[in-house]
Every structure is written in C-alpha cells, then in structure tokens.
Structure 1
Amino acid sequence: MELLHTQIGSYRFVFLLIIFSAIIAEVVWNWRTERKAYHIKETLANLAIFFGHQFFGKVVFAGAKLFTLDLAYKITPFKIENTFWTFLLCFFLVDFVYYFFHWASHKTKLLWAFHHTHHSSTLYNLSGAYRLNWFGGLVNLFFFIPLILIGFSPTFVVGSIALNLFYQFFLHTEAIGKLGFWEKIFNTPSAHRVHHATNEEYIDKNFGGVLIIWDKLFDTYQEEKTKPMYGVTTGFVGYNPLKIIFKGFEELLKGEKSKS
C-alpha cells in the first residue's frame, strides 16, 4: 500500500503541470476567438472545487481508499501477473466498469447527488473537467473493487483509473471539433459535449470514458448535431463552491432529480 501511494504521488506533479498548461492555452484561445467559454467567477469556482477535491481525495480519504484496495487484494486467492499485456487488459476493463459507473451516476438519485457537481456548469471548458464532488471517493471506489478481487493489482487498477480520468480531461473543450475515424472508437470532445448538454435529444447519452464503443454497444450513443446547451435541467446553480458541491444532495433530500 505504501508503494502504491508513492507511485501515484510521483506522477501527480507532471499531471498537474500538463493540466494547468492546457487550461492556460485554452484561456488564450478563448480570448483570441472571443468564444466566451470562460467566466472569471465560474473559473475561480472550478479551481476551488478542484483543490478541494485534491484535498479530500489525496489527504482525507486516501488512506482509507488505499487500505480498502490493499485488503481486497490480500483476501483474493487470485493474482494476475503484472505485465504490459495484463495492464492493457486491466485498462480496458476499468473503462468498461467506468461506463457502468457513469451510467449509474445518471440513473440513480443517490449517485447523481455526487455527480451533479460535475454537470452543473453552464460553460464547457477544461477548468471544469475536474469539477468533481469532494465526497465522490466514498462511493466510486466500490465499483472497481471486483477487478482487484479477480486478481488485478491495486497499482494497475488505480493507475488505469488515473489515466482514464486524465484522458477525459482533454474532452472538456470546445476548441476541438470532430475527429473523423477516432470518433468511431474513442470518446472525443464532440461526443462528450453531447454528454454535458441539456438538449432533450442529448440527455443521458455518451457515458464512455476513453472508449465510445460501450455507448454504441448499449445504445446510449448520440452524435453531436446541434449546438449543445450545458448545465442541468433545473438551471443555473451559482458560483459558490459549497453550493455547487451540495446542490445535488439538496435535490436528493427534496426527492428531486435534475438531468444533464
């Protein structure tokens, strides 16, 4: 478990450097093209939520999450050897589990209470990619434990999840149009713009992480045809990070459920 924590931490700085460099590049693109994809208060809220998510995920919940993964690996009688090919298989299976987890996050009120945070922005840009609920780590981990119980190491599973989310970061932009053949197999900014839209024909579509083939297999794929309108169906939430984090739980307590 100690080794896993060290390995994850060693790549975090590189990931953060790439993430913030890409955001700065997109801000420059936004300014030069006058696309109005950024709003200063919205961006500050996104950054506050990002740093809060880092604190809760990497500090508050990190020990419990790594302990749970390590325990699952210790009790399973199966152990899959760590090789390049088994990592590719693990990455592929993580992406499939992510599709199911993402689908469930839209279809169930409890999981939507967590996921609401990510969809509540009315703008679509890279600063909102990690606009993730601070307490999501309490539930999402359990969807991936079965992969450890069948023998994949925690290092491979956690590494695959991290790479999956890192790829998805680059999907949250309007700066990239359609990508031709790539659209047939992989998730793209165009496909993910559909996922974040409140247009009636776009709601509950395109749940894939890295691969879009799951959506095509399970009939949840929708091509981007008309301009997406972003946010949730109940409207603008605000710029207060705490309100953004807890709005989904407020809906849950009231028995309501917005969509996106």
Structure 2
Amino acid sequence: MIDFLNYSNQPRYGLITLLILLIVGEMIWSYRNNKHVYELRDTLTNLVIFAGFQLSKLAFFGIELSIGAFFTRHELFHLEKNTWVFVSCFILVDFVYYWYHRLSHKIKFLWAFHLIHHSSLYMNLTVSYRLNWLSTVLTPFIYAPLLLLGFPIEFILLSLALNLVYQFFLHTEAIGKLGFIEYIFNTPSAHRVHHGSNERYIDKNFGGFLIIWDLLFNSYERETIKATYGTTTGFIGYNPLKLNFKGFIDLFKSKMTYKG
C-alpha cells in the first residue's frame, strides 16, 4: 500500500522495526510485572495471521485497485491534492471507518469478516493485526463514497494506512487512562473496552483514530472494570484457517437452518 503511494521502503522498514521493538518491549514489561498478557500459542497464531494478511493484500491488490479506479472514473467532483483536502479526507475516512466498524458488529455478513479480530483471549500489540485475510476485498466498496466525492485514491489509502498504524498502539494493557485525551482520541483504555465481552462493554467504542464519533452517536463507554477478552460464544482455537473462516461457516449454517 505504501509502495503504491511512491514512498520509499526505508521509512516502511523503519516503522516495522519500531513495531517489533515495541512488541518485544511489551513482552518484557509483561514478564517483569507478571501481567500474563502474552501466551505463546496465541502470539504465534497472531503472527501467522498477520503474515497471511500481508500476502492477501498482495494477492487482492489488483482487484482492490481496479474497483477503486472504477469509482474514481465516476467521481462527482474533482478535488485537488493539497493539505486541506488530505486533512478532510483523513477525518472522513475515520468517520466511515466508525460506521463500517459499528455495522460489522451488527450485520452478520460483516461480522463474518470481523470475528477473527475479537477471537483472542488476550490484549497485546500482536492482536492488532489479527485481521481477516478476505477483508481487503471489502475496502474499496466501503470507501467508495469518498472516491465518488472526488477524494484522491492516494489520500484515502494513506489515511487508511495511518489509521491502521495508529490502532496498533491501542492494543495494549501497558498504557492506562490518559485524562481528557480519552474524550477526543481513541486510546488503549477505550479500545480495551471495545474488546471486552463483559455485558456493559459489548458493542462500544468503535472509533479508529477519534473517539468523538462514539460520543456523538451514543456508543461510548468508559473503562471501569477489567475487560474479559474474546467473543461471547467462547474460545475458538488457535488454527488460523478456522479463525479466518469460522464467521463465514457460521453464516452459512444459519442460512441453512433458517426456515423463513
């Protein structure tokens, strides 16, 4: 994705190195403080899923780009590439992400893609990239309205990349509450709530970069008790294939048993 935007590989490799160092640092913090936020099988599963997700992005990139180009050809307006357009694009991408994320918890078809992200019983930085291998196919359709409005596809892709990198830092127990920032930006505290299967935490805090959308649309919940992670239906397993496709299997079974 970054290569498509003509950025050099050096910053990308620097970012990957930083993320690896942060993961190692979190592991050391967990061990020294007896926090038990890492479990070997769970972590290995996360890494395999991450590798598969990267391969899926390469495999589907041509399809994704073709769909994006289609909507771009039918744009209603043409917006110039400048700072204000990018800032507007970044905010709107975050707004669209909020609703896409919220609907992913309400619509069974979208939940089939999203279930994997909530399947871990732990909260650590490696959980951040527990993403479905087929989800990249949905991306151009989700953000098609912004393409039709005339936002440059490069700006949308960059906004998505920055949003995803930011969310990496949310998946941790090493950072506590951050005061007034909790009511502006998404934070680790807010995102722990989102991953919680506690009754009061279910379907809360859908924001990506900003938490303002949750405050505006009544889906915000403060962290008041320790979150119990995982899905409400229980532990699924460590098999990456099962985790990626369980949601679709469940969806198919529900349709087969539906009597109308």
Alignment coverage as a number of residue pairs? 254
CA shift for structure 1 position 3 = 9.8
Decide whether the 8 Å contact of 1:8 with 1:159 is kept in 2.
Answer: no
Separation in structure 2 between the aligned mates of residue 204 and residue 179 of structure 1, nearest angstrom: 22
Closer, same or farther: CA 61–245 of 1 in aligned 2, 3 Å: same
**1:80-138: CA deviation from partner (whole Å, max 9, x where unpaired):** 11111111110000000000000011000000011000000000100110000000112
Across the aligned residues of Structure 1 and Structure 2, the Cα RMSD in angstroms comes to 1.7
Q: Which residue of 1 aligns with 2:258?
A: none
Q: Within 5 A, what are the aligned runs for 1:167-246?
A: 167-246=166-245
Give the TM-score of the pair, scaled to structure 1. Answer: 0.93
**1:134-187: CA deviation from partner (whole Å, max 9, x where unpaired):** 001122331101101101100000000110111011000000000001101000
In structure 2, the gaps of 5 or more residues are 256-260
Separation in structure 1 between the aligned mates of residue 8 and residue 116 of structure 2, nearest angstrom: 25
Separation in structure 2 between the aligned mates of residue 251 and residue 8 of structure 1, nearest angstrom: 40
**SS across alignment from 2:160:** helix
Separation in structure 1 between the aligned mates of residue 196 and residue 139 of structure 2, nearest angstrom: 23
**SS across alignment from 1:78:** coil
CA shift for structure 1 position 43 = 0.3
* 1:126 and 2:135 aligned: no
Code of the residue aligned with 2:245 in structure 1: it is F
**SS across alignment from 1:220:** coil
Code of the residue aligned with 1:26 in structure 2: it is E
Q: Within 5 A, what are the aligned runs for 1:4-43?
A: 5-7=4-6, 10=9, 11-43=11-43
Quote the sequence identity (%).
Answer: 51
Separation in structure 2 between the aligned mates of residue 138 and residue 9 of structure 1, nearest angstrom: 25
- Structure 1 segments, 4+ long, off by >4 Å, are none
**1:40-85: CA deviation from partner (whole Å, max 9, x where unpaired):** 110000000000000001x110111112222322332421111111
**SS across alignment from 1:62:** helix
Q: Within 5 A, what are the aligned runs for 1:156-167?
A: 156-167=155-166
**SS across alignment from 1:181:** helix
Q: Which residue of 1 aligns with 2:110?
A: 111
**1:3-24: CA deviation from partner (whole Å, max 9, x where unpaired):** 9715267353233222212111
In structure 1, the gaps of 5 or more residues are none
**SS across alignment from 1:118:** helix
Decide whether the 8 Å contact of 2:2 with 2:158 is kept in 1.
Answer: no
* 1:69 and 2:68 aligned: yes
